[in-house]
Amino acid sequence: MGRERVAAGTDEPGALNAFRQFFALERDVLVLSLAMFAFSLGFQMTNRYLPEYMVALGASGFVVGLFGTVGNVVSAVFPYPGGAISDRIGSRYALTLFGLVSTLGFAVWLVAPALGTVTVAGVAIRPWIWIFVGLFLAQGWKSFGLGATFAVVKQATDPSRLAAGFASTETFRRTAFLVGPVLAAVLIGFHPEFTVSFRYVLAVAVVFGVVGTVVQHVLYDAGEDSFGSSFEGLGRIKRDLREMPEPLRPLLIGDTLVRFANGMVYVFFVLVITQFYEVGFEGTVALAGFSYGVDLSPATFFGYLLGVEMLVALLSMAPAAKAAERVGLKPIVGVGFAVYALFPIALIGGPEVLASVMPLSWAMVLVFAFSGLRFAGLPSHKALIVGPAERGTGGRVTGTYYLLRNTVVIPSAALGGYLWEFVSPEVAFTVSAAIGVVGTGYFLVFGREFEAYR
């Protein structure tokens, strides 16, 4: 019943339609979606600010890069162990376990400053070390469901409407990406000292984690769920690597280069605002006949910039998915890749150029609005990944694709951190943009269109 509604409701894949579909879902899918929203909200409130938090706790730029690389490792290797655990204890208890682990990760980040420097066997463990520990825990819940989500959308949607189907699901999930950073910005504004105000954010994330875990454990009924029964270990992974559909290979190569480029600088976006430019926002906002003075610190301003980025993403995904039905998936994905590739150079150099015609803070707003367009191609990108898969294999094909891509991307943040710390931020971002342009060009030349969109 739920799948029929998703398939039938994608004629107009706008934001409001996505929410109408959400409330028409079967109970278990609804519960899982609510849990996904809660954990995405908690993670997005905290993750983008962690580099600034680490620097405040004494970490160097290179250590921040290593943090990004560890995050890449987690993203690459966690899904398969998550499937193995699901096989052993069942989906309901596995979801609860991963929810508790993620909540514990938020809590570790919360108490890290209070732990201070601890000496173990003559080795000083500084507070920022606990941010790494918390990362392994906080991403626990994210280890579930990537391949399954792709497979469900593929099965529920006509092949020629895949981008629209992904636009509907992605619109709801990305709402947490919009709300999280903005809520974090509000909380950070409550105290002038970042290490204090950011702990308010982490405390709220812990609350969201607890609520999400309790809701999914109490309401989710996995009596008919067979998700955990298909994992067959390393042998299955090797077969999936050999059997990856041929049309995915040029997409995978181009995507990997683009994501490697993005991974080099992603963790430094907050530091560009708070340390490289040290730009906040001062102005007057008129509303309902009243004027309000606004004075935002760089850290607070960054949260609102992320909100601008995600607002543009939410507004552009559905029209881009609709456009894909006319021009094909490949051009839309190519545009998204191009924005990914150009954003690093736009962020590190663009505001200074634009500052000649507008205030620096408004230049930053414009640059992050441009960044939001990279998500416009995301539904089409997902459709292009899962489209060539045979029916019933969408989850495995997706898992294989992301395993390969994320494994190659692992060292990117460490490379970016080295360039940031020992060469210069400008060089790090320029090299990132160059690699992204190469990946985009490769895809545009060799990438193949999904037949249903020809």
User: How is the chain split into domains, by residue range?
Assistant: 2-221+233-453
User: Do 185 and 304 contact (CB within 8 A), yes or no?
Assistant: yes
* Spatial distance between the Cα atoms of 146 and 151, rounded to a whole number of angstroms: 9
The whole-chain average pLDDT of the chain stands at 81
Q: Is the pLDDT of residue 408 over 50?
A: yes
The confidence score (pLDDT) of residue 35 equals 75
Which superfamily, per CATH, for 2-221+233-453?
Answer: MFS general substrate transporter like domains (1.20.1250.20)
Beta partners for residue 285, in sequence order = 292
DSSP state of 13: -
* Spatial distance between the Cα atoms of 373 and 306, rounded to a whole number of angstroms: 13
Confidence bin at 10 (pLDDT 50/70/90) = very low
Confidence bin at 139 (pLDDT 50/70/90) = confident
- Average pLDDT (421-446) is 97
Confidence bin at 141 (pLDDT 50/70/90) = confident
Confidence bin at 226 (pLDDT 50/70/90) = very low
The confidence score (pLDDT) of residue 3 equals 39
- Label the pairing between strands 281-287 and 290-296: antiparallel
CA distances from 156 to 7, 169, 401 (A): 5, 12, 21
Q: Is the pLDDT of residue 87 over 90?
A: no
Three-class SS of residue 283? strand
CA distances from 408 to 76, 163, 213, 241, 435 (A): 9, 26, 32, 14, 14
User: Do 374 and 339 contact (CB within 8 A), yes or no?
Assistant: yes
Predicted TM-score (pTM) of this structure: 0.82
The confidence score (pLDDT) of residue 217 equals 80
Low-confidence winner among 67-71, 247-251, 346-350, 371-375 (lowest mean pLDDT) = 247-251
DSSP states along 189-213: TT-SSHHHHHHHHHHHHHHHHHHHH
Beta partners for residue 281, in sequence order = 296
User: Do 106 and 202 contact (CB within 8 A), yes or no?
Assistant: yes
- What is the separation of C-alpha 51 from the centre of its chain, rounded to a whole number of angstroms? 16
Confidence bin at 228 (pLDDT 50/70/90) = very low
- Average pLDDT (307-331) is 90
The confidence score (pLDDT) of residue 377 equals 87
Q: Is the pLDDT of residue 104 over 90?
A: yes
Confidence bin at 13 (pLDDT 50/70/90) = very low
User: Do 128 and 62 contact (CB within 8 A), yes or no?
Assistant: no
- Average pLDDT (410-416) is 96
Q: Is 304 left (phi over 0), alpha (psi -120 to 50) or beta?
A: alpha
**27-47 helix and 129-138 helix, angle to the nearest 10 degrees:** 170
Confidence bin at 421 (pLDDT 50/70/90) = very high
The confidence score (pLDDT) of residue 170 equals 62
The confidence score (pLDDT) of residue 453 equals 56
Q: Length of the chain, please?
A: 454
Q: Which residue has the higher pLDDT, 222 or 333?
A: 333
